[in-house]
Amino acid sequence: MIAEEPRLDPGRVTELAQSLETELARLIVGQKALVRDTVITLIAGGHMLLEGVPGLGKTVLVRSLGQALKLTFARIQFTPDLMPADIVGTNIIREERGRREFQYQAGPLFANLVLADEVNRATPKTQSALLEAMQERTVTVGTETRALPVPFFVLATQNPIELEGTYPLPEAQLDRFFFKSLVPFPSEEELLEIARRTTGRATPQLKAVADDKAILAAQEVAREVPIAEHVLAYAGKLIMATHPQRTELETVRRYVRFGASPRGLQALVLAGKVRALLEGRYNVAFDDLVAVAHPALRHRVFLQFEAEADDVTADQLIDEVVEKTDKAKAAG
């Protein structure tokens, strides 16, 4: 068998990720878990849903990412009157040398990094347009389908408060997001550091540590990280344990309406692979799966009303699933 050489040295991926995290940390105070989740999603080739109140640095994060990776960046503020054409682009009539013809004008989706701010404020029609683009990485205007630039990374945000007048994303669309990360409010110390960095005369400028090609290469390398069968089996057990009909956990049976989908398993394993690389390893460990379980599964575990009534969150259930799923037993 002829060995298939990776396009990028696995060690370089680790360096790239670490340097990216270091560069982002120059501008973003704290939020290490968020930055790590963002990097993992980027290298895994997925999209990310951020949930947090306004003003926590979500936009800064995406913009900084664009700067650090020399990628194009676009921000779309989702509102109820936002139409699909506003994001995917539209054909407009142009007059050129006396001739009028339709010419396609690309929308803001045609960027490497797209920040879909407050995505739950747009109508389902517009949300669907965005989510189709996320899944297919193409947009269709009229009869013509156009490919989006690669890498294509959507970072959507939604506000957990002020839910009036919003259109919550349906389960099927939530499943399209690779990760759902929560943006925590910074600590007091971090708040002070934010103030110090952003209220001075100059804001730190990030330097590019990689380009689109490096990102694409890293994405390919990540998929080649091996995972042992018993570790994969553990990932499968985690997914199965989120299903009320197939789990032995009483809380899951009681509070969960639907468990994680196969996409959840894909996200778990792929995120585990990326995390292994970021940790300087060339194999997926149980710890990798445990570390990415929350962002990979929290938006894929759909709760009963009873959970809301009892103030039980998906994260709590995932904690229990992880705690109660025996690694050795899962591995057989």
Partner 1 sequence: MSSLDGVVSELRWSAVRSSALSYLLHAVLAAAAWILAVVIAARFFPLEHAPRFEAIGVPIAFVAVAVAWIAVRPGSMKLMRTADVRLGLKERLSTAWERRGQDGPMDAVLRQDALEKAARTRLAAAYPVGLRPGEVWLTLAVAVAAVGLVLLPNPMDQLLAQRRDDRAAQAQAAETVAAAQKKIAAASPAAQVDPQIQKILQDARARIASAPDPRAALQNITPAEQKLLQLSDPQTPARASTAQNLANNLSATNGGRAASQALNASPSQGARAIRDLASQLQNLSPQDRAQLAQALATAAQQAKDPEMAASLQQASSALASGDVSAAATSMDALAGQLDSLQQQESNDQQIAAAINGLEAARQQLASQADRDAAGAGASASPSAGAGGSAGSGAGGSGNGTGNGTGSGNGSGTGNGGGGSGGTGGQGSSGSGAGQGTGAQSTERVYVPAAPIPGQSENDPAPLAPGQDVPLTPYDQVIQAYEQVALDAADQSLIPGSERDLVRSYFSSLGEQGGGR
Min dist. Cβ of residue 185 to partner 1 (A): 32
Whether 121 and 79 have beta carbons less than 8 Å apart is answered as yes
Query: Which is closer to partner 1, CB of 231 or CB of 312?
Result: 231
217 counts as binding partner 1 under rule CB under 8 A: no
Tell which one of 123, 283, 304, 313 touches partner 1 (CB under 8 A). Answer: 283
321 counts as binding partner 1 under rule CB under 8 A: no
Query: Which is closer to partner 1, CB of 61 or CB of 238?
Result: 238
284 counts as binding partner 1 under rule CB under 8 A: yes
Query: Which is closer to partner 1, CB of 18 or CB of 313?
Result: 18
144 counts as binding partner 1 under rule CB under 8 A: no
Q: How far apart are CA 236 and CA 331, in angstroms?
A: 10
Query: Which is closer to partner 1, CB of 243 or CB of 327?
Result: 327
Structure tokens, 213: 């090609």
- Nearest residue to 176 via CA among 51, 263, 77: 263
Query: Which is closer to partner 1, CB of 93 or CB of 328?
Result: 328
Angle at which helix 32-44 crosses helix 262-278, to 10 degrees, equals 110
327 counts as binding partner 1 under rule CB under 8 A: yes
Min dist. Cβ of residue 272 to partner 1 (A): 10
Query: Which is closer to partner 1, CB of 78 or CB of 286?
Result: 286
285 counts as binding partner 1 under rule CB under 8 A: yes
- Which residues lie closer than 8 Å to 314 by C-beta, 6 or more apart? 297, 298, 299, 301, 303
**Stretch binding partner 1 (CB under 8 A), from 78-86, 92-100, 190-198, 223-231:** 223-231
4 counts as binding partner 1 under rule CB under 8 A: yes
| Residue 104: φ, ψ to 5° | -75, 130
Whether 97 and 76 have beta carbons less than 8 Å apart is answered as no
Min dist. Cβ of residue 273 to partner 1 (A): 10
**Stretch binding partner 1 (CB under 8 A), from 24-32, 60-68, 226-234, 251-259:** 226-234
Q: How far apart are CA 106 and CA 152, in angstroms?
A: 15
Give the footprint of partner 1 on residues 235-274 (CB under 8 A).
none
Whether 206 and 281 have beta carbons less than 8 Å apart is answered as no
**Stretch binding partner 1 (CB under 8 A), from 91-99, 161-169, 192-200, 277-285:** 277-285
**Stretch binding partner 1 (CB under 8 A), from 111-119, 135-143, 228-236, 306-314:** 228-236
Query: Which is closer to partner 1, CB of 258 or CB of 282?
Result: 282
CA 330 to the chain's CA centroid: 28
Query: Which is closer to partner 1, CB of 12 or CB of 254?
Result: 12
Q: How far apart are CA 274 and CA 220, in angstroms?
A: 10
Question: Which stretches of the chain are assigned E, i.e. beta strand?
Answer: 48-51, 73-77, 89-96, 99-106, 113-117, 138-141, 144-147, 153-158, 179-182, 256-258, 302-303
Q: How far apart are CA 79 and CA 125, in angstroms?
A: 12
Give the footprint of partner 1 on residues 6-45 (CB under 8 A).
6, 10
Q: What is the contact surface with partner 1 in residues (CB under 8 A)?
A: 1, 3-6, 10, 224-231, 279, 281-287, 327-328, 331
